[in-house]
Copies of this chain bind each other. A is one copy, B any other.
């Protein structure tokens, strides 16, 4: 089996690459080759015995999308994207990569012809939803994104569904909830605090909480997100039916409940490293975000997120801190 990962240098892309290298197989088939592409050359996985091709490319260029599928990967994990904040600031760049890049990749597959029929797992996002929301978002809720990124992801979903319907490939789009705890440095994303209030205290540092503890949101760990991609690749077209884009499950928690989890798992001295510093702008942005997501179809199809925020905290300690908490 030959696997292509676009966006392989991103946080989830790297973790997915490592997981596949470690497993050595996908859906029971041995992985013989991995093709890894991103705007920077992705890191080769350490423990992988098969062939690896890693290169940098701009996927808004149709020559590059043609090259990406030229060696006919069997499974394509399409994660490459200009992220939310950047797509909002750089309108042309966002549409170029997120819309025309995805369209280019689908077109490259279609134009290959000759019986080529890969499976694509497309990384979508809960950014496809836009307020006002019901108490919990059902699978049948409409997509009314309030960002260019969300718009581009919603368009990617529609394109994928139509190309699948026409028989050019198999595919599934997975709407990822907020990934928490994101490893690495704090960033300026409005959603950054959901991770930093867990990550920084566990690393012995102070974290700023810019919103009220009553703010509710839905999370999945990086480990769970990687699991979504792997599981999605194993679904058949019959299981999916015509609606191939699915909201992923997650763990719903208020910020207060997140902090309670941190206290339970790591102790009160760690949880005490969170300092409240309300930020009106962030509060306003977060007010427009989905709180709860049903994800009924995804659960029925076997997608699994953590069952409690405690598990999310523990996943971070295990996967990123080698089990160690800063005293």
Contact = CB atoms under 8 A, between A and B. Distances in A.
Interface stretch (A64-72, A152-160, A194-202): A152-160
A51 to B, nearest CB: 34
Given A140-B142, A143-B142, A243-B144, A161 B166 contact: no
Nearest to A165: B146
Q: How many copies does the complex hold?
A: 2
B142 A242 contact: no
A135 interface: no
A148 interface: yes
Interface residues of A, number: 23
Contact of A151 (B139, B140, B145, B158): B158
B144 A162 contact: no
A142 B144 contact: no
Contacts of A146: 165, 242
Nearest to A128: B158
A151 B156 CA distance: 11
A139 B140 CA distance: 11
A166 B87 CA distance: 12
A77 to B, nearest CB: 23
Contacts of A155: 155, 158-159
A127 to B, nearest CB: 12
A91 interface: yes
Contact of A143 (B130, B148, B158, B166): B158
A162 B141 contact: no
Nearest to A288: B242
A151 B91 CA distance: 23
A148 B130 contact: no
A142 B145 contact: no
Nearest to A146: B242
Contacts of A145: 158, 161-162
Interface in A122-138: 130, 134
14 contacts: A91-B166, A140-B141, A140-B142, A142-B143, A143-B143, A144-B243, A145-B158, A145-B161, A146-B165, A148-B162, A148-B166, A151-B158, A155-B155, A158-B158
Interface of A: 91, 130, 134, 139-146, 148, 151, 154-155, 158-159, 161-162, 165-166, 242-243
